[in-house]
Structure 1
Amino acid sequence: MSGASTTLPPSLSERLLSAIETLSTAQTPEEVLDVILSSALGALNAIAGAVLLVDSRGTGLEVKRVQGHEEKAQTLWQDGPLDGRVPAGDALMRRQPLFFERRGALNQAYPELEERTGGVAAVATAVLPMFLDDRPLGALILDFREPHEFTLQEVRFLRTLTAQGAVALGRARLQQDLEARVAARTAELEEQRAALDAFVVYKEAVGHESDVRALAGQAVRTVRANLPHVSAAYYEREGNLWKAQAWSEDMAPEVVAEITAGVDVRTPNYAETVRSGTPLFKDGWDGAAQGLSRTVSHGATGFLPTVYGGETRGLFAVETRHAHSWTEREQSLIRAVVRGLHLTLERTEQTRRLAIQNAELEARTQALEGFAHLTRDLTDQSDPRAFVKRAQEVVLSLLPSGYALYYGRDGGRWRNWVQTGDVGHSGLQAFIDAGPLVGETPTVDIPWTTGQPFFQDTYAQGSDTPAEMVQHVNAAAALPVSRRGEVMGVFIAVLFEKRAWSRTDRVVLETVVGSLGLALERAESVALLERRNQELARSNAELEQFAYVASHDLQAPIRAMTSFAGLLERRYSDRLDGRGQAYLQHIVDGGEHMKRLVDDLLTFSRVHTQQRPLLPTEVDAVFDAVVRRLEAEVDGARVTRSRLPVVLADAQQLDQLLQNLISNGLKYRREGVTPEVHVRAERDGELWRFAVRDNGIGIEPQYFERIFVIFQRLHGREEYEGTGIGLAVCKKIVERHGGQIWMESTPGEGTTCYFTLQPDGNFQQ
């Protein structure tokens, strides 16, 4: 990957924010995959993309979504095994993205890929693995038509997009699975409706009740209402005990006392039910044999687990006091009751997970929006502390009372560069201001050294500062702030209240601090660019002043040289032989050329040192004045124009521009061809584009840029007079007017010089 700055450009930040917002509202896996693909393709200008997902068995990859490829196109990205022989499987096994930036890189890494798939590898390819809760989901693949160097900004964009996409995909799958399971369970209950008349009320409760314990009480009452001879209780595990949370009112007080105190998880029938995960019905039961001393023997018992995620979350127990054999109807009713508990448990867990995931997405979005909003007016800000201050304000606005610090390393101490909020203790403030020692301050040392966040649900008082100073501090979070992959500071949020840092809290903090790192990188780039621009402007000003002074000071000795050379020629030419007269002529010619060179240098330097305001100027009038002045050069040639517009210009510099371009067109004529120069103008967006066309000798394409550089000549002075400054002056004049100048030419046919100028503001399309 390229080593460019990791500052995330505004366009990528906006695309990422938009993608996250869209993902938070996606309802189905297909919608999620479409958002991931369209966002990635649009942001990186990829020609095509695909998403491959791990199949239900976890052994293969299936192409689930494709964008950019023609329908039924034979591409490399096809269903196949989940192994390291294909890029997607390899990325998942390595747990890191793969980038193939040059033609042939993919084939070199996987030499059999094209032959096995029948497809053709793109010039450049990116493969991003997708994981959710450390579980592989699949991979995002992007293809490029041209070689592509993946910048760190692009890599960060893709990593964040795929991470958010994995969360959204997991949420959509959970929602889809939940709906399918609820539908299946509901259908199953409907099939048993005839045998479960009294279960209607309970089923209604299952449909809307989200509290498992409350529904367990309803389940117990439903069993008692339909099977009066049966007692029931619902247990949940607490440590090594199963404790009853709901029970039927017919149970004896001593039994209630024992089951609410807790039954050991090793009790045989309880343990057997948990181990098998299936209902256990027994027609006889000896409580003493099960280790329950206060209970009596029962005629029949039953234990039914409520299982979610492969874990037994609860036990529903039934019993009869007299000898009894469970009938099919009784078992069906009890199973149906417990199935309702199971459904409610599933819905509750799914709802809880969805709520957590949605809260994380919403928190991340709010944090990004909040930080973006607060830093919008700091776009041109180069002071990094302003961005840190805004990040601290965002974090503290979303958390309970506390304060925020930003530490950087200063020799052997940690220096607090930015602080928001009162630390609540004068001694603590003094300690912070003095600078804690590096290596003796774990809250700062750990994130700086590891590069990972350090969350303390219970702040270790005395670990960083004297304990008596931080008795009011209860929780802390310290996150490294990175710039181009290197830790540059530690962002710390300290809370006075007790708080267990939730996943949402972590998402908010990590999002804000990640955005802070990007903002600091951008601020550094802005400051560097500003310094370079200032240095360049100062250097240009000094060079222009030097050229002006040097050219001005050269005028006097040049005039003296040419004057005295003229006197020598007039008074003493008859005393000189042929060689002496030739020498004298060289002096005169050299002096004249030096004078022209100095005059042109003065003109070049005055483009910026002697500026006049840009005013509405009639180009027709300026052109006509130039042609009258060049009458001697125009003699025998044709210099014409179309109707020319009014532009915003320095009339004197515009005169110089047209004079130089027309003179060039007349000077570089073809032998035996009458010179022709024509000037025209036409609208080009918000500008006027001028064209000065001649029928002269023309220029080779490789010289188009060179001729606008000062002192660059394509011909010797013995062929064409000139100093090599005229076109450089033209370029400087056009750029001073906010335009551009360029050239097109065909050797032996002629040249057209184009330049653009601003209209006067009254142009009507």
Structure 2
Amino acid sequence: MTALDALAGVILLLNPETHRLEVCATQGQEEQPLWRSGPLIPATPTGEAVTGCRTLLFENAGDLRAAYPFFEKETGGIAATATAVVPLLLGERALGVLILDFKQPHTFTPEERHFLSTLAAHTALALDRCELFGRLQASEALFRRMVAISPVAMAVGSLDGQLSQVNDAWLRLTGQTRAAFEAGELDWQAITPPEYNAVEEKLFGQALAQGEAISYHKELVNARGERVPVEATLASFDERQVMGYALDLRPFQMQEQALRSESARLEQVIAERTAALQTFVTFTENASQTQDMDELGRLVLDTLRAVIPGVTALFYEREGPVWQPRSWTPDVSPELLTTLQRGLPLNAPISARMLETLQPVFVDDLTEEEQGIAHSGSYQAAAIWPTVQDGEVRAILTVGLQTAAQWTEAQRSIIRALGRSFSLLYDRISSARQVQVQRDEAERRSLALSAFAVMSRDLAGETNRYALVRRAQEIMLSLLTPGYALYWEVGDDRWQLKSQVGDIGDPALQAFVDAHGLPLEAPALHSTWLTGVPNYQDNYAQGADTPAEMIRHVQAATAFQVRMHDQPIGMLAIGLFDQRTWTPMDRAVLETAIYSLGLVLERAQSIEAVARTNAELQNSNAELEAFAYSASHDLRTPVRHVKGFTEMALKAYARRQEDKVVHHLGIVSGAADRMTAMIDAMLVLSRAGRVELQVGPVPLPALVSQAQQDVLLEFPDQRVEWQIGPLPTVQADAATLQQVLTNLLSNAVKFALADRPLTIRIWAEERPQEWAIFVQDTGAGFDPRYANKLFGAFQRLHTQQQFAGTGVGLATVRRIVLRHGGEVWASGEVDGGATFAFTLPR
């Protein structure tokens, strides 16, 4: 500043992560500085200097303001008379800018320009060095921290035993304290047994000479006098010290001992598994041919008696709340057998444990009091093996031991192996029992599925979504026990009931779902809506979705996601009044029914789309005829103006009547502008009919807010009182629906009356199949006799002098709404305001 006699100076540094320029240093700045911290904006002096890597010099008063007319207003500062903006470059990278302000006009001489360039380069170099020095200090601090917290014992010392650094891991390994180290009481050689001195001296020298040495094993003597085996490695630290790393070998030695013990255990297990395998082979050979469950039970019990002498065994199947014995070994006492034939309760301690885990249970040191089974006091150990089907235990094997109080590992392995084989054979035989039942059920369900085919044929022309859903609900309920089916769709903040088949079973519950629907996070629907995975509940979680006292009659439930074109549109939930275990057959049939419903809905949508396309085509043809007429008429008018007034201008020019030439050419220019506006409007209307619609959820409040902003920019001087009611989220194309709302709001403001305050009201009405959106104003209105002309291309009910426009805005609105499958209409009175409305399918 002194060398150039500058008034003030600022250095702004660029933050590469946030892309902001931050003030680093200032001198002579005003209270309202022009140069301040902020984002890097290319269209500013600092932005262009940084991004363009070039110096900007403003030598005279007003030069900076002329180059950047909005800069002072945006920053709130006042530009100096002369200014130099110099980038701080390090190579091709800009670190920031140096700015000098001058009180008087300043012509920068070549020497001053060179001086500024050199000063900026030195400043950038100094900044880079500061940054590098900071990184170096941070790296050194990080290294020291890593050494300090390293789990590996580390120490730095010289050959004479003096230690200059140790970390906490080294102190823990040697049992020493940080205070003893800092007092100089620790000696490297003192804690090393003498037999290692010669080796360490040699390796110490090797580390100093070559920078590192090979690892070696040694011992350290800790504070308790114990020898600690370690693996040591030496590396050069400086010209007279080495850094030593010591790895405690005791955990590895313990692992070796554990591995030896585990190896012995595995050898024992192999022997036991061999015995179990022989058991499996024996049983399989004897049982593979049987088709009778009682015979299978006798075979498994005989095999158990053969491979584990002295055991007592029984085979049970589940009957309601008890286990009922089917087969038993002959050594069961008559008293105990009588007790067991009354049924072994499911909640007997050993049974309850097994049912909780669905895993076999082995009980050692058995007592009759603990188990609560009369006449079982002679048994000292017991085991129970579950046979699980579809997540439930269907049968069990129980084994009792009278000669010992504990099961050996070999006996446990035999019972497990035999139990697995028995479960497989039980599955095969029980499956055979169900084949005929499943065949009968499959035929009944096949008939039900064919009903979907009939539905597709009989309702071929039906396009009402809810009529099709209702028929699907009826078919699905016909496959099940008494209950009801509810179809839900997402509302603004809740699930809304759209279709119901069957009495819900409780008047209060019916009134509740009719009035309140369900919260979006209701467990019965929420997870399936998010994942698409059906939610089957064998035992319905009463009270999770609705008040528990209203739903106690519902015992089982399921819910499905209804999809169209791979997109979810709703949820179909079924509640049953009887207990039901949802079988794989149930799931397959119901999920097939839901899939078939999706196909039917897609076909109905396609039929509706074809009808809509035909309607659009008819509307387009009508628009085309009107458009051709209007275009030929309305475009010809400005053309006639251009031709006529051009000829008149030429005649005036020949007579040297310059004022008339200017007047006529002004009219020609206005006619050309009018023609351009009409052609642009024609293009907008054309695009509205051709652009591909991306339909999805669109929040109307956001679109209305944007339309308000657009209209206020178009008519900044017009005061408007806005009255906006609650608006929904609709299914539409966001971009074209924005055009609709912006056009309607723009029209409402454009036709405001000068002698009357303008009020614009916007609201929505919910209808069974659609939403209706209204825009009402207190403006000029229109003659209702000509309402049918409002939405035609180039159709206007006011003159250009009254209200400017092209007559295409409302035609564009109509085309967009029709493409969405909606309708558009208007009502109004001359000087009494107007109401425009349109609908969108839900």
- Measured against the shorter chain, the TM-score band is 0.3 to 0.5
Structure with more relative contact order (C-alpha pairs < 8 Å, separation 6 or more)? 1
Give me the TM-score of the superposition, normalised by structure 1.
0.33
Give me the TM-score of the superposition, normalised by structure 2.
0.30
